[in-house]
Structure 1
Amino acid sequence: MKTGELIRRYRKMRKMTQADLAEACGLSDSAIRNYELGNRKPSEAHVKSIAQALEVAQEALLDVDVDSVRKALEYLFRIDEGTGLKPARGAEGDVFLTVDRNSPKAPKLSTALEAWMRQRERLDAGEISQEEYDAWKASFGMSDL
Protein backbone atom coordinates (compact mmCIF):
# COMPACT_ATOMS: atom_id res chain seq x y z
CA MET A 1 0.00 0.00 0.00
CA LYS A 2 1.09 3.54 -0.68
CA THR A 3 1.59 6.04 2.14
CA GLY A 4 -1.55 8.02 1.21
CA GLU A 5 -3.69 4.87 1.26
CA LEU A 6 -2.27 3.97 4.65
CA ILE A 7 -2.98 7.44 6.03
CA ARG A 8 -6.60 7.09 4.87
CA ARG A 9 -6.87 3.55 6.28
CA TYR A 10 -5.63 4.51 9.75
CA ARG A 11 -7.53 7.82 9.77
CA LYS A 12 -10.77 5.94 9.11
CA MET A 13 -9.81 3.29 11.64
CA ARG A 14 -9.52 6.09 14.22
CA LYS A 15 -12.87 7.48 12.98
CA MET A 16 -11.28 10.82 12.11
CA THR A 17 -12.15 13.16 9.26
CA GLN A 18 -9.44 14.71 7.12
CA ALA A 19 -10.10 17.97 9.00
CA ASP A 20 -9.70 16.18 12.36
CA LEU A 21 -6.39 14.70 11.28
CA ALA A 22 -5.16 17.99 9.82
CA GLU A 23 -5.92 19.78 13.08
CA ALA A 24 -4.33 17.03 15.19
CA CYS A 25 -1.04 17.17 13.30
CA GLY A 26 -0.89 20.87 12.42
CA LEU A 27 -1.38 20.51 8.68
CA SER A 28 -4.04 21.80 6.31
CA ASP A 29 -7.06 19.80 5.17
CA SER A 30 -5.80 20.08 1.59
CA ALA A 31 -2.40 18.62 2.55
CA ILE A 32 -4.07 15.56 4.09
CA ARG A 33 -6.38 15.23 1.08
CA ASN A 34 -3.46 15.46 -1.36
CA TYR A 35 -1.45 12.88 0.61
CA GLU A 36 -4.39 10.47 0.65
CA LEU A 37 -5.03 10.94 -3.06
CA GLY A 38 -1.35 10.38 -3.84
CA ASN A 39 -0.98 13.83 -5.40
CA ARG A 40 1.77 14.70 -2.95
CA LYS A 41 4.12 12.71 -0.75
CA PRO A 42 4.49 13.83 2.87
CA SER A 43 7.90 14.82 4.17
CA GLU A 44 9.49 12.73 6.90
CA ALA A 45 8.48 15.38 9.48
CA HIS A 46 4.88 15.30 8.25
CA VAL A 47 4.80 11.49 8.35
CA LYS A 48 6.01 11.68 11.95
CA SER A 49 3.31 14.16 12.98
CA ILE A 50 0.58 12.25 11.11
CA ALA A 51 1.68 8.97 12.74
CA GLN A 52 1.58 10.59 16.19
CA ALA A 53 -1.90 12.00 15.54
CA LEU A 54 -3.12 8.58 14.35
CA GLU A 55 -1.37 6.80 17.23
CA VAL A 56 0.51 4.48 14.90
CA ALA A 57 4.20 3.77 14.43
CA GLN A 58 5.81 5.86 11.68
CA GLU A 59 6.77 2.64 9.94
CA ALA A 60 3.08 1.75 9.59
CA LEU A 61 2.80 4.62 7.08
CA LEU A 62 5.77 3.61 4.94
CA ASP A 63 5.23 2.73 1.30
CA VAL A 64 6.21 -0.95 1.27
CA ASP A 65 5.73 -2.61 -2.10
CA VAL A 66 5.46 -6.41 -1.88
CA ASP A 67 3.21 -7.11 -4.84
CA SER A 68 5.46 -9.90 -6.07
CA VAL A 69 7.27 -12.82 -4.48
CA ARG A 70 10.60 -11.36 -5.61
CA LYS A 71 9.94 -8.04 -3.86
CA ALA A 72 8.86 -9.82 -0.69
CA LEU A 73 12.00 -11.95 -0.86
CA GLU A 74 14.17 -8.84 -1.22
CA TYR A 75 12.70 -7.49 2.02
CA LEU A 76 13.44 -10.82 3.72
CA PHE A 77 17.05 -10.69 2.43
CA ARG A 78 17.44 -7.24 3.96
CA ILE A 79 15.79 -8.28 7.20
CA ASP A 80 18.23 -11.21 7.37
CA GLU A 81 21.18 -8.83 6.95
CA GLY A 82 19.94 -6.41 9.58
CA THR A 83 18.36 -8.57 12.24
CA GLY A 84 19.37 -12.20 11.86
CA LEU A 85 16.01 -13.49 10.66
CA LYS A 86 16.90 -16.43 8.43
CA PRO A 87 15.32 -19.43 6.70
CA ALA A 88 15.50 -22.87 8.28
CA ARG A 89 14.14 -26.32 7.50
CA GLY A 90 11.79 -28.17 9.84
CA ALA A 91 11.79 -31.91 10.55
CA GLU A 92 9.16 -32.53 7.86
CA GLY A 93 11.04 -30.50 5.26
CA ASP A 94 8.98 -27.30 5.63
CA VAL A 95 10.83 -24.01 5.29
CA PHE A 96 10.22 -21.45 8.03
CA LEU A 97 11.90 -18.34 9.39
CA THR A 98 13.93 -18.37 12.57
CA VAL A 99 16.04 -15.91 14.52
CA ASP A 100 19.82 -16.34 14.56
CA ARG A 101 20.57 -16.20 18.30
CA ASN A 102 24.07 -14.87 17.55
CA SER A 103 22.69 -11.71 15.95
CA PRO A 104 23.00 -8.60 18.16
CA LYS A 105 19.34 -7.75 17.42
CA ALA A 106 18.06 -11.26 18.15
CA PRO A 107 16.59 -10.50 21.60
CA LYS A 108 14.46 -7.58 20.37
CA LEU A 109 13.40 -9.43 17.23
CA SER A 110 12.46 -12.53 19.24
CA THR A 111 10.39 -10.39 21.62
CA ALA A 112 8.62 -8.69 18.72
CA LEU A 113 7.89 -11.99 16.97
CA GLU A 114 6.52 -13.49 20.20
CA ALA A 115 4.19 -10.52 20.63
CA TRP A 116 3.04 -10.84 17.01
CA MET A 117 2.43 -14.57 17.43
CA ARG A 118 0.33 -13.99 20.57
CA GLN A 119 -1.82 -11.40 18.81
CA ARG A 120 -2.21 -13.62 15.76
CA GLU A 121 -3.28 -16.52 17.99
CA ARG A 122 -5.85 -14.26 19.67
CA LEU A 123 -7.20 -13.26 16.24
CA ASP A 124 -7.39 -16.88 15.07
CA ALA A 125 -9.16 -17.88 18.30
CA GLY A 126 -11.74 -15.12 17.86
CA GLU A 127 -10.62 -13.28 21.00
CA ILE A 128 -9.98 -10.07 19.06
CA SER A 129 -11.44 -8.69 15.84
CA GLN A 130 -9.57 -8.07 12.60
CA GLU A 131 -9.88 -4.34 13.32
CA GLU A 132 -8.29 -4.77 16.76
CA TYR A 133 -5.51 -6.87 15.23
CA ASP A 134 -4.87 -4.24 12.54
CA ALA A 135 -4.79 -1.50 15.19
CA TRP A 136 -2.29 -3.52 17.23
CA LYS A 137 -0.05 -4.04 14.19
CA ALA A 138 -0.15 -0.33 13.34
CA SER A 139 0.76 0.80 16.83
CA PHE A 140 3.24 -1.94 17.79
CA GLY A 141 6.75 -0.61 18.10
CA MET A 142 5.77 2.88 19.15
CA SER A 143 6.89 2.12 22.70
CA ASP A 144 7.39 -1.63 22.61
CA LEU A 145 10.77 -1.71 20.86
Structure 2
Amino acid sequence: MAIGKRIKFFRNKKGMTQKQFGEMLGFLGKTSDVRMAQYEAEARIPKFDLLKEMAGILSVSTHALNVPDIDSYIGLMHTFFALEDMYGLKIKDIDGELCLCLDRNNPSYLSMFDMFHAWQQQSAKLENGEISREEYDEWRYQYPALDTSGHYAKVPSQELSDLLIKELDKDSKKK
Protein backbone atom coordinates (compact mmCIF):
# COMPACT_ATOMS: atom_id res chain seq x y z
CA MET A 1 0.00 0.00 0.00
CA ALA A 2 1.34 3.41 -0.93
CA ILE A 3 2.09 6.09 1.64
CA GLY A 4 -0.93 8.26 0.74
CA LYS A 5 -3.32 5.36 1.20
CA ARG A 6 -1.72 4.50 4.54
CA ILE A 7 -2.08 8.11 5.75
CA LYS A 8 -5.73 8.10 4.71
CA PHE A 9 -6.33 4.67 6.27
CA PHE A 10 -4.98 5.70 9.69
CA ARG A 11 -6.59 9.15 9.54
CA ASN A 12 -9.97 7.53 8.90
CA LYS A 13 -9.31 5.00 11.67
CA LYS A 14 -8.89 7.97 14.05
CA GLY A 15 -12.13 9.50 12.72
CA MET A 16 -10.46 12.70 11.55
CA THR A 17 -11.26 14.77 8.49
CA GLN A 18 -8.46 15.95 6.23
CA LYS A 19 -9.02 19.47 7.55
CA GLN A 20 -8.77 18.40 11.21
CA PHE A 21 -5.64 16.38 10.57
CA GLY A 22 -4.06 19.20 8.54
CA GLU A 23 -4.78 21.71 11.29
CA MET A 24 -3.22 19.40 13.89
CA LEU A 25 -0.12 19.38 11.71
CA GLY A 26 -0.05 23.18 11.64
CA PHE A 27 -1.53 23.86 8.20
CA LEU A 28 -3.86 26.83 8.56
CA GLY A 29 -7.24 27.67 7.09
CA LYS A 30 -8.22 26.40 3.68
CA THR A 31 -4.76 24.99 3.03
CA SER A 32 -5.12 22.31 5.72
CA ASP A 33 -7.46 19.98 3.82
CA VAL A 34 -5.85 20.79 0.46
CA ARG A 35 -2.40 19.79 1.77
CA MET A 36 -3.76 16.58 3.27
CA ALA A 37 -5.57 15.74 0.02
CA GLN A 38 -2.26 16.22 -1.82
CA TYR A 39 -0.45 13.86 0.56
CA GLU A 40 -3.20 11.25 0.35
CA ALA A 41 -3.27 11.48 -3.46
CA GLU A 42 0.54 11.37 -3.46
CA ALA A 43 0.79 14.60 -5.40
CA ARG A 44 3.15 15.48 -2.53
CA ILE A 45 5.23 13.14 -0.38
CA PRO A 46 5.79 14.24 3.21
CA LYS A 47 9.37 14.76 4.33
CA PHE A 48 10.51 12.54 7.20
CA ASP A 49 9.99 15.21 9.91
CA LEU A 50 6.38 15.70 8.82
CA LEU A 51 5.91 11.94 8.54
CA LYS A 52 7.12 11.60 12.16
CA GLU A 53 4.64 14.26 13.24
CA MET A 54 1.82 12.50 11.35
CA ALA A 55 2.73 9.19 12.96
CA GLY A 56 2.70 10.80 16.40
CA ILE A 57 -0.77 12.28 15.91
CA LEU A 58 -2.07 8.99 14.49
CA SER A 59 -0.38 6.98 17.29
CA VAL A 60 1.46 4.71 14.84
CA SER A 61 5.07 4.04 13.91
CA THR A 62 6.51 5.83 10.88
CA HIS A 63 7.00 2.30 9.51
CA ALA A 64 3.21 1.89 9.47
CA LEU A 65 2.83 4.96 7.24
CA ASN A 66 5.80 4.50 4.96
CA VAL A 67 5.95 2.13 2.03
CA PRO A 68 7.54 -0.86 3.77
CA ASP A 69 11.09 -1.88 2.93
CA ILE A 70 10.82 -5.67 2.77
CA ASP A 71 14.60 -5.95 2.91
CA SER A 72 14.39 -5.41 6.67
CA TYR A 73 12.53 -7.50 9.24
CA ILE A 74 10.66 -4.45 10.56
CA GLY A 75 9.66 -3.45 7.03
CA LEU A 76 8.52 -7.00 6.34
CA MET A 77 6.40 -7.00 9.51
CA HIS A 78 4.74 -3.75 8.48
CA THR A 79 4.07 -5.27 5.06
CA PHE A 80 2.22 -8.11 6.80
CA PHE A 81 0.32 -5.58 8.92
CA ALA A 82 -0.73 -3.68 5.76
CA LEU A 83 -1.86 -6.97 4.19
CA GLU A 84 -3.92 -7.66 7.29
CA ASP A 85 -5.57 -4.23 6.98
CA MET A 86 -6.20 -4.49 3.26
CA TYR A 87 -6.94 -8.16 2.63
CA GLY A 88 -7.64 -9.77 5.99
CA LEU A 89 -4.39 -11.73 6.21
CA LYS A 90 -4.21 -13.17 9.76
CA ILE A 91 -1.58 -14.97 11.79
CA LYS A 92 -2.66 -17.99 13.86
CA ASP A 93 -1.08 -20.69 15.96
CA ILE A 94 -2.17 -24.05 14.57
CA ASP A 95 -0.78 -26.99 16.52
CA GLY A 96 2.27 -24.99 17.59
CA GLU A 97 2.97 -23.82 14.04
CA LEU A 98 2.61 -20.14 13.14
CA CYS A 99 0.51 -19.86 9.99
CA LEU A 100 -0.70 -17.03 7.81
CA CYS A 101 -4.32 -17.41 6.75
CA LEU A 102 -7.19 -15.43 5.30
CA ASP A 103 -10.07 -13.96 7.28
CA ARG A 104 -13.31 -15.41 5.91
CA ASN A 105 -15.16 -12.25 6.94
CA ASN A 106 -12.99 -9.98 4.78
CA PRO A 107 -14.67 -8.83 1.53
CA SER A 108 -11.66 -9.97 -0.52
CA TYR A 109 -11.63 -13.48 0.99
CA LEU A 110 -12.96 -15.40 -2.03
CA SER A 111 -10.66 -13.71 -4.52
CA MET A 112 -7.65 -14.09 -2.24
CA PHE A 113 -8.53 -17.71 -1.46
CA ASP A 114 -8.62 -18.61 -5.14
CA MET A 115 -5.26 -16.95 -5.79
CA PHE A 116 -3.63 -18.49 -2.70
CA HIS A 117 -5.07 -21.89 -3.63
CA ALA A 118 -3.50 -21.68 -7.09
CA TRP A 119 -0.17 -20.79 -5.45
CA GLN A 120 -0.48 -23.66 -2.96
CA GLN A 121 -1.17 -26.10 -5.82
CA GLN A 122 1.99 -25.01 -7.64
CA SER A 123 3.99 -25.25 -4.42
CA ALA A 124 2.67 -28.78 -3.82
CA LYS A 125 3.66 -29.77 -7.37
CA LEU A 126 7.19 -28.55 -6.66
CA GLU A 127 7.35 -30.48 -3.37
CA ASN A 128 6.03 -33.65 -5.08
CA GLY A 129 8.56 -33.38 -7.91
CA GLU A 130 5.85 -32.82 -10.54
CA ILE A 131 7.49 -29.57 -11.66
CA SER A 132 11.04 -28.24 -11.43
CA ARG A 133 12.17 -25.26 -9.36
CA GLU A 134 12.59 -23.36 -12.63
CA GLU A 135 8.99 -24.09 -13.65
CA TYR A 136 7.74 -23.07 -10.21
CA ASP A 137 9.73 -19.82 -10.29
CA GLU A 138 8.53 -19.10 -13.82
CA TRP A 139 4.92 -19.56 -12.64
CA ARG A 140 5.46 -17.20 -9.66
CA TYR A 141 7.36 -14.51 -11.49
CA GLN A 142 4.97 -14.40 -14.43
CA TYR A 143 1.81 -14.68 -12.36
CA PRO A 144 -1.00 -14.46 -13.44
CA ALA A 145 0.02 -15.05 -17.07
CA LEU A 146 0.93 -18.74 -16.53
CA ASP A 147 -1.83 -19.49 -14.03
CA THR A 148 -4.11 -22.05 -15.64
CA SER A 149 -6.52 -22.25 -12.69
CA GLY A 150 -8.33 -19.16 -13.97
CA HIS A 151 -8.92 -18.07 -10.39
CA TYR A 152 -6.84 -14.94 -10.27
CA ALA A 153 -8.86 -11.83 -9.62
CA LYS A 154 -8.36 -8.18 -10.06
CA VAL A 155 -8.06 -6.41 -6.73
CA PRO A 156 -10.79 -3.78 -6.32
CA SER A 157 -9.73 -0.15 -6.32
CA GLN A 158 -9.09 1.43 -2.93
CA GLU A 159 -12.05 3.76 -3.53
CA LEU A 160 -14.39 0.82 -4.13
CA SER A 161 -12.97 -1.03 -1.14
CA ASP A 162 -13.39 2.06 1.08
CA LEU A 163 -16.98 2.49 -0.11
CA LEU A 164 -17.83 -1.16 0.58
CA ILE A 165 -16.29 -1.02 4.06
CA LYS A 166 -18.15 2.22 4.81
CA GLU A 167 -21.47 0.67 3.74
CA LEU A 168 -20.79 -2.51 5.73
CA ASP A 169 -19.98 -0.40 8.80
CA LYS A 170 -23.25 1.53 8.39
CA ASP A 171 -25.16 -1.74 7.99
CA SER A 172 -23.57 -3.33 11.07
CA LYS A 173 -24.31 -0.22 13.19
CA LYS A 174 -27.99 -0.44 12.25
CA LYS A 175 -28.15 -3.97 13.63
What is the TM-score with the length of structure 1 in the denominator?
A: 0.51
Shift of 1:106: 0.4
State the Cα distance separating 1:82 from its structure 2 match.
0.6
Which of 91, 96, 101 is the aligned partner of 1:98? 101
Q: Does 1:66 align with 2:74?
A: no
- Secondary structure of 1:128 counterpart: coil
**Aligned residue runs from structure 1 range 20-99, under 5 A:** 65-90=69-94, 92-99=95-102
**Structure 1 counterpart of 2:125, one-letter code:** R
- The letter for the 1-side match of 2:129 is G
CA apart distance, 1:66: 2.2
Give the aligned partner of residue 53 of structure 2: none
Aligned-partner Cα distance in 2 for 1:141–1:78: 22
2-structure distance, mates of 1:112, 1:67:
24
Separation (CA, whole Å) in 2 of partners of 1:103 and 1:69:
26
2:128 aligned residue = 125
TM-score (norm 2): 0.43
Q: Alignment partner of 1:97: what SS?
A: strand
The 5-angstrom pairing of residues 105-120 of structure 1 reads: 105-120=108-123
Moved over 3 A (4+): none
Listed one character per residue, the Cα deviations across residues 81-110 of structure 1 (whole Å, up to 9, x for unaligned) are 1101111111x2222111110100000111
Q: Structure 1 regions of 5+ residues with no counterpart?
A: 1-63
- 1-side partners of 2:126 and 2:96: how far apart? 27
Change (3 A) 1:128 1:65: farther
Identity of aligned residues (%): 32
Q: 1:65 to 1:133 in 2, by over 3 A?
A: farther
Alignment: residue pair count: 81
Matched residues in 2 for 1:124 and 1:69: separation?
27
| Alpha-carbon separation, structure 2, partners of 1:140 and 1:99 | 20
| Larger RCO (CA within 8 A; separation ≥ 6) | 1
